[in-house]
Amino acid sequence: MHAMSKPLRVEPGLDYASIRQRAMRTLFDSFDALCEGTLVVDREARIVWINERYAARFGQPDATRAIGRPVEELIPSSLMRRVVETGEPILLDIMEVDGTAFVVTRLPLRDDEGTVIGAVGLALFDHLQPLQPLFTRVGKLQRELSEAQKRLSDARRARYTFADYIGRSAAALAVKRQAMRCARLSSTVLLLGETGTGKELLAHAIHDASPRSDRPFVSVNVAAVPEALLEAEFFGAAAGAYTGADRRGRIGKFELADGGTLFLDEIGDMPLALQAKLLRVLQEQEVEPLGSNKVIRVDVRIVAATSADLAQRVAEGRFRSDLFYRLNVLPITLPPLRERREDIEALCRHLLQQMAAGGSEPACRLDASALALLQRCPWRGNLRELRNTLEQAAMLSEHRVLGAEDFRGIVRPDDGPLAADPEDAAPLLDYRQALADFERNLIRRALAACGGRVVPAARRLGLGRATLYKKMATLGLSAPGSDTAADTADRAGNDGDDA
Ligand SMILES: Nc1ncnc2c1ncn2[C@@H]1O[C@H](COP(=O)(O)OP(=O)(O)OP(=O)(O)O)[C@@H](O)[C@H]1O
Ligand SMILES: [Mg+2]
């Protein structure tokens, strides 16, 4: 073997052409000795020469028998044919053979006129072992990256469709029909309605039914982002430009939603300064990330929602009228639950099933008395309140079929002895006292449901036994629930339990 480090001695009579030739021989011999695989093919990609080890690797112990055969017959994944056909080398590649990765180099061979007459391939698999940790690491990173990308794209997909908007009342059907019509257009949609009426659900459904459904659905809750960060959240920030939490810069939600839908939740809470900037973006369809002087064109469909009375905010000077008109292109007002009481039955069934999904117990049902009671409630928190109410009753009840008595103390019907609107009738309670009342009621019901036994009651409430005992002591409750003890505490004026 020629040692490549030894300088070639230029002897008299040795011209440069022969030095070059010797260098080539040296290279070839060295690689032949160092590599496990050396392969030469002709211009038709037939094997001209292959070393013994490489041939054996592909199941041909007698290398001479491979000569003249198309290269793929021996090495099915070979790219030598591509090299002779294109004349382009593949300097570095990884070829998989039976689950092992080889680093390979493939070079075209040319005659004096430059015509491709074949190709040489070198496979360095013997020397790959030190690289194995690197491959393992790269493979792991690649898997993590594709998982993260999948999670991200799942997060940016609509979570609800129109089928999830339950209700066959005239009011519900009208809203659904209107929203479906809007879905096909690309104009701005404004969703109005009290808290818990399904604005977010409908925003998802509109995106899902729109021609943009295979593009991202991105949402920003204006009320949940600190005012100082809102601008970067919306429009992005160039690296170093921004002194907030992230100095590396960030991609704004407008850019993330490009081609898709941007859901601006609680738009009524947007600070005035930002309203002006948002208006400009909506007009120009261009954003300028903070601290950068480049503008980015975006194609974004806006769905905005608010439970605030926007017109009133405009009148008070808290919301820009020009932005209001810009957003108010396709307004949809979601009906409150009390205006579609006939949907309550189907909604309860749906919500109870949803709550049971994933758990081991079957879904609870309502009997006629419970349904009649729930249909008489004011539901100021709409579906969110209905859901919480059902959750509480299901948790506290012994039975799978809930009756009106399972809701006592949890809800107050419109026409019940307790006022529909506590603001109108009952005196406004001190916060701590109201909380103590609530806790006392809840614990008393849990104890009653568990035959007065504290340990199962604690389990049902998701509290530790000691915690429950402590709370009971503070609230003046004894087990089994004695009204007298509680009443005494009430009269004494309870300080509540902040422990
Ligand atoms: N028509 C409906 N059918 C089934 N579930 C609904 C319906 N409307 C709302 N919900 C459910 O009620 C809950 C509240 O809905 P959502 O979050 O969409 O309300 P929202 O109008 O955005 O309320 P907020 O103004 O308080 O943010 C969610 O769990 C949602 O899935
Ligand atoms: Mg919402």
Q: Can you give the length of the chain in residues?
A: 499
Ligand closest to CA 265: 2
Ligand closest to CA 160: 1
Residue 179 amino acid letter: A
Of the candidates 304, 295, 291, the one whose C-alpha atom is nearest the C-alpha of residue 255 is 295
Ligand 1 pocket, residue 269 CB under 6 Å: no
Ligand 1 pocket, residue 165 CB under 6 Å: yes
Same fold, 338-428 and 432-499: no
Checking if the pLDDT of 336 tops 80, the result is: yes
Of the candidates 240, 173, 162, 174, the one whose C-alpha atom is nearest the C-alpha of residue 201 is 162
Residues 375-419 have pLDDT tens digits of 999 998 899 999 999 998 998 888 889 999 999 888 877 754 443
Task: Collapse the DSSP code of 37 into the 3-class scheme (helix H, G, I; strand E, B; otherwise coil) and give the result.
Answer: strand
Checking if the pLDDT of 497 tops 80, the result is: no
Top pLDDT among 32 and 215 is at 215
Lowest-confidence segment of 192-206, 253-267, 353-367 by average pLDDT: 353-367
Checking if the pLDDT of 140 tops 80, the result is: yes
Ligand 1 site-directed mutation target among 166, 197, 355, most atoms within 8 Å of CB: 197
Residues 220-271 have pLDDT tens digits of 999 888 888 899 999 998 887 655 556 678 899 999 999 999 999 999 999 9
Angle at 363 between CA 361 and CA 365, to 5 degrees: 135
Ligand 1 pocket, residue 384 CB under 6 Å: yes
Cα of first residue to Cα of last residue in the chain, in angstroms, is 83
Top pLDDT among 77 and 34 is at 77
Assess if CATH 1.10.8.60 describes domain 338-428: yes
Top pLDDT among 473 and 71 is at 71
The confidence score (pLDDT) of residue 420 equals 42
Ligand 1 pocket, residue 121 CB under 6 Å: no
Checking if the pLDDT of 7 tops 50, the result is: yes
Q: State the closest ligand 1 atom to the C-alpha of 200, by its place in the atom list counted from 1.
A: 18
Buried b (16+ CB within 10 A) or exposed e, 102-126: bbbbbebbeeeeeebebbbbbbbbe
Ligand 1 pocket, residue 171 CB under 6 Å: no
Ligand closest to CA 172: 1
Q: How far is the CA of 371 from the centre of ligand 2 (A)?
A: 26
Ligand 1 pocket, residue 166 CB under 6 Å: yes
Ligand 1 site-directed mutation target among 180, 200, 303, 385, most atoms within 8 Å of CB: 200
Q: What residues are paired with 286 via a beta bridge?
A: 297
The confidence score (pLDDT) of residue 417 equals 41
Q: How far is the CA of 135 from the centre of ligand 2 (A)?
A: 46
Residue 270 in contact with residue 318, Cβ under 8 Å?
A: no
Assess if CATH 3.30.450.20 describes domain 35-131: yes
Checking if the pLDDT of 450 tops 90, the result is: no
Q: Quick one: average pLDDT of 431-460?
A: 85
Ligand 1 pocket, residue 275 CB under 6 Å: no
The confidence score (pLDDT) of residue 160 equals 95
**Topology of the domain comprising 162-335:** Rossmann fold (3.40.50)
Checking if the pLDDT of 41 tops 70, the result is: yes
Buried b (16+ CB within 10 A) or exposed e, 394-430: bbbbeeeebbbebbebbbbbeeeeeebeeeeeeeeee
Residues 117-132 have pLDDT tens digits of 999 999 876 556 667 7
The confidence score (pLDDT) of residue 412 equals 78
pTM of the model: 0.62
Checking if the pLDDT of 272 tops 50, the result is: yes
Checking if the pLDDT of 487 tops 60, the result is: no
Q: How far is the CA of 199 from the centre of ligand 2 (A)?
A: 6
Checking if the pLDDT of 321 tops 80, the result is: yes
The confidence score (pLDDT) of residue 243 equals 55
Q: Which residues are CB-contacts of 319 (< 8 A; sequence separation ≥ 6)?
A: 268, 270, 272, 275, 310, 313
Q: pLDDT category, 438, cuts 50, 70, 90? A: confident
The confidence score (pLDDT) of residue 488 equals 35
Ligand closest to CA 264: 2
Q: pLDDT category, 276, cuts 50, 70, 90? A: very high
Q: Where are the chain's structural domains?
A: 35-131, 162-335, 338-428, 432-499
Q: Quick one: average pLDDT of 436-461?
A: 85
**Topology of the domain comprising 432-499:** Arc Repressor Mutant, subunit A (1.10.10)
Task: Tell me the two tokens of residue 450.
Answer: 């568990």
Q: What is the mean pLDDT of the chain?
A: 85
Q: Quick one: average pLDDT of 91-112?
A: 84
